[in-house]
């Protein structure tokens, strides 16, 4: 039985601060060259490091593509591994964006839950990708950093009821090349889709009985 085509949206961020070239967007462009499996339509977007643009753009992407999954990729100057983020946080946004703006309320969604977890089991994804023997180390985190990465992730999790993921990558060459990051993203997203489909199959089975 042929699987229906599915949309997957993957975003990277534009330049900010010392990141004149943002490794996340470079990695996403590498992923676009590689593509995902045949039944997936991949849509990639570069997101500016601006709170207000994120608040407008993320819901628009969900509306436009009705994706099975949205994966946001961001750079972390402190990261030395490719890091799967488990959750997004609602409050504590004090860092100014590229427009010198930060939310007056310092939160994503006023009255929203403090933390939203992805419905994807990141531990499973991490184990599976690590078992593939790629030349990239994958780890897990529960703190996406309370800046645009965390803000975008929470906004997307809130919009999608948890059907989003966030991946932090290190700056280019510290230690990975763009090609290595692109291949790692391809493997991670394919495993995420697999985990998501299996959890949905289970839910569907339960509904049928």
Cβ–Cβ under 8 Å, residues 112 and 90: yes
Q: How far apart, in whole angstroms, are the C-alpha atoms of residue 89 and residue 66?
A: 23
Other beta carbons within 10 angstroms of residue 141's beta carbon come to: 17
- Residue 85 designated active-site: yes
- Residue 114 designated active-site: no
Cβ–Cβ under 8 Å, residues 175 and 135: no
Point out the catalytic residue in the list 50, 149, 190, 191.
149
Point out the catalytic residue in the list 85, 87, 126, 190.
85
Dihedral class, residue 17 (left if φ above 0, else alpha if ψ from -120 to 50, else beta): left
Q: How far apart, in whole angstroms, are the C-alpha atoms of residue 80 and residue 133?
A: 17
Q: How far apart, in whole angstroms, are the C-alpha atoms of residue 117 and residue 123?
A: 13
Helix or strand run (H / E) with residue 123: helix 122-131
Give catalytic residues, as residue numbers: 85, 149
């Amino acid at each position: 039985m042929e699987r229906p085509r599915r949309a997957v949206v993957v975003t990277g961020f534009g330049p900010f601060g010392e990141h004149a070239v943002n490794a996340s967007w470079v990695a996403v462009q590498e992923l676009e060259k590689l593509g995902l499996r045949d039944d997936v339509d991949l849509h990639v977007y570069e997101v500016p490091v601006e709170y207000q643009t994120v608040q407008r753009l993320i819901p628009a992407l969900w509306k436009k593509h009705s994706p099975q999954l949205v994966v946001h990729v961001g750079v972390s100057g402190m990261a030395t591994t490719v890091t799967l983020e488990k959750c997004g946080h609602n409050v504590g946004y004090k860092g100014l964006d590229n427009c010198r703006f930060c939310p007056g309320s310092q939160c994503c969604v006023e009255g929203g839950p403090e933390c939203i977890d992805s419905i994807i089991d990141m531990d499973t994804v991490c184990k599976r990708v690590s078992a593939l023997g790629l030349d990239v180390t994958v780890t897990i985190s529960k703190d996406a950093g309370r800046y645009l990465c965390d803000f975008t992730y929470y906004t997307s999790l809130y919009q999608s009821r948890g059907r989003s993921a966030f991946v932090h990558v290190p700056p280019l060459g510290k230690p990975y090349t763009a090609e290595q990051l692109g291949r790692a993203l391809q493997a991670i997203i394919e495993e995420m889709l697999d985990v998501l489909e299996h959890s949905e199959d289970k839910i569907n089975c339960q509904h049928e009985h």
